[in-house]
Amino acid sequence: MTPVVKSNGAEIPALGFGTWELRGASAVQAVRAALDAGYRHIDTAAMYANEAQVGEAIRSHPTPREEIFITTKVWATDAGDGPFQRSAEASLKRLGVDQVDLLLVHWPSHGMSIKDQILPLCDAKKRGYTRHIGISNFSPEQVEQAVKFSDTPIVETILLDRKDLPSAGAGETPIVGLAPAVGNAIFHATGMRIRALPMVPNGLSSPNPQHATS
């Protein structure tokens, strides 16, 4: 069984399949092969331009949807109240699902305050677009601000080089987006670390990461 990161009700498979640079029929084939190989966390993004193919692969695979953890991300150009939610809605439509398991701010927008980027993320969860929310590619200072303004637990992902994946720091569990060979193609291997930022008594998330695996 794939280990999971557990925090505040979230159970995120600790081994994930990254789909960056996968396009068209190759994306469908690769995701299906990943599911065949036992992956149960599929990572995509609006910016990857492959959500439709990822969704097709998931729908056509015999693995039940409830056993597959889907992560997608909203790009920085769609930051802010209104554009963010519309981008999330479009991602759901392309994926062919009513809800994803984790929705991330893909990259912080430097032309907007962190508060104005996090509040729409929280709203997307309230609307039922996602079970869990998170951030990606934020600096430590931006993480602290995101935690301050989020009214629900958030997850942080940190992109790593493949060589860095084996060593996880305190409070971090590796998620490996490692594409297997499909036919004659071996896709680019990437990875990320994830840390769940738990709630504190006042209802806001805490910047002190905690995690458990099983």
Which active-site residues does the annotation give? 48
Which residues, listed in sequence order, are joined to residue 6 by a DSSP beta bridge? 11, 212
Do residues 24 and 35 make contact, with C-beta atoms less than 8 angstroms apart? no
Take residue 71 and report the two structure tokens written for it.
């992560």
- N- to C-terminal Cα distance for the chain? 9
Q: Report the residue count for the chain.
A: 214
Residues with Cβ within 8 Å of 154's Cβ and at least 6 positions away in sequence, in order, are 118, 121, 133, 134, 135, 146, 147, 197, 205
| Residue reference for tokens 């305190």 | 170
What is the maximum alpha-carbon separation in the chain? 53
Alpha helices in the chain (DSSP H): 24-36, 51-60, 83-95, 114-126, 140-149
With b meaning 16 or more CB within 10 Å and e meaning fewer, what string describes 153-179? Answer: bbbbbbebeeeebeebeeebbbbbbbb
